[in-house]
Chain A
Amino acid sequence: MELFAQQVMAGLASGAIYACIALALVMIYQAIGHVNFAQGEMATFSTFLSWQMMQWGSPYWAAFVAAVALSFAGGMLIDTVVFRPIRKASVLSQIVMFVGLLAILNSLSGFIWDFTSKPFPTPLGSGPLSGFRFMGMHQAAMMAITALMLVLLYCFFRFTSVGLAMQAAAENPDSARLVGVRVELMIALGWGMAAGIGAVAGIMIAPIVFLEPNMMLGIMLYGFAGAVLGGLASPLGAVIGGFLVGLIENLAGTYIPAVGAELKLTIALAIIIVVLVVKPSGLLGPRHAQRV
């Protein structure tokens, strides 16, 4: 029972990270209809930025906030400079652009900060949560920060004009223009927010997997699995999907003997493929119209 509770908590904690990545992926997908394959690299780069600031003497939270803010700006910049000019290009050309972006960020990270794994600080220390045997301090921090971020995002979309305008731009850009929404700006904002969310995810996961340029590779996969499971059409679905993937990963790893470390990643992939074959639009997505 104790093991189960621990694993559930661990699953929810890592699920929080996958939920963040899944959310970032779905936000951009909703805005431009393409999956940002470079999301992980962007998050890694942001995490390096915060690490560098801490190396220069900045306290943890200042570096955290600064990295998120810089990532937001960076995301908007990337959209405006790289993706806005090719808005109308084919799916394949856009995929190649994402690949290019991925290569640039990965290489830059390696070049500036090298490929050795670096330890990364955690805001609350790494001991167990006082009084609660099933969870570590950092895991609690991950879940709390993710929860806070999700609440803020929810309020943003539900209660602000900009949030409403962004939803309109994503749902129906033509109509949005007809009410005066600056659609391109909304898309850039979506990119910025996705980049910021990715930064939070990276900073949260770095203490566990250690900071190095390829840190997000496996996590991206879980993030994709979460996004697909929840349905690419729904931010809420992405979040739920991310948490579910975290739970499945941890519980399967603990209770199914055949699943060792090597197969954990394959679990994520199996989830993706099974969901796609059975219900492509995911748990919370619309019923997928069958293309003939």
Chain B
Amino acid sequence: MSMLLQVRGLRAAYGQTEILRGLDFDVGKGAVTALLGANGAGKTTTLRALCGSIRRQGSITLDGVPISGKSTEEIVRLGVGHVPDGRGTFLKQSVENNLKLGAITRSDRQGIAEDIEKIYDYFPILKQRRSQQAGLLSGGEQQMLAVGRALMLRPKILLLDEPSFGLAPLVVREIFGIFRKLKEASGVGILLVEQNASLALDLADHAYVLETGRVGFSGKAEDVKNNEQLKRSYLG
């Protein structure tokens, strides 16, 4: 399995406080990699660093291209779809416009229209609400919209930041079902940050457990899932 994303020695800080102290991890093509850990371990920071939203040092390579010095806009255009925590919905725009914004860097009108229909297939509720203002959507619907928006980019890699946060279990199951479909169908690599470890491990192939800015443990998802001692000490 070739490595889609390779990270070596990633460091990042907020002001004087160092959050990431030298991370090493990989994400494979068509695989789901989970990034787990307690609050404050640096999971969200890692995703922000990958996107260039915060200052970072270290080596980040996407499909062979180094991206650690690039701006967010450039990184996104290279195929990184980030679904941020808080969803980042364009509340004033319609649902459909939010999706169109996901594809704003593309110029193939036909392809964009097809992709929008594909997203509506995944998330029928969005089709129902296509002309409504996105700010009126429920939390779960906004999460679906955020994922749909990222997918409109036809990304090589999808960065998911706590997609289950604040959502009812039924909605979470629906959304994770879509993730499973994506993993099987499209060959997109997924880096999944989750507080809910068991949920993430059910979906993931590989897992890294972060502890205060470093990788504390890594291995196959099954192994992590079955390792009671590991779960207790790192994942609570």
Contact = CB atoms under 8 A, between A and B. Distances in A.
B101 interface: yes
Interface string B30-55: 00000000000000000000010100
A178 B76 contact: yes
Contact of B91 (A171, A180, A183): A171
A114 interface: no
Contact of B76 (A161, A164, A172, A180): A180
A201 B110 CA distance: 40
B89 A181 contact: no
A165 interface: yes
B44 to A, nearest CB: 13
Interface string B71-107: 0110011000010100011111100010011101100
Interface residues of B, number: 22
A289 interface: no
Contacts of A174: 53, 84, 88
A178 B82 contact: yes
B149 interface: yes
B147 interface: no
Interface residues of A, number: 17
A167 interface: yes
Contacts of B153: 179-180
Interface in A60-98: none
A178 B104 contact: no
Contacts of B73: 177, 180-183
Nearest to A161: B104
A101 to B, nearest CB: 27
Given A171-B93, A174-B53, A181 B104 contact: yes
12 contacts: A161-B104, A164-B101, A167-B92, A167-B93, A171-B92, A172-B90, A175-B84, A177-B76, A178-B53, A178-B84, A179-B76, A179-B153
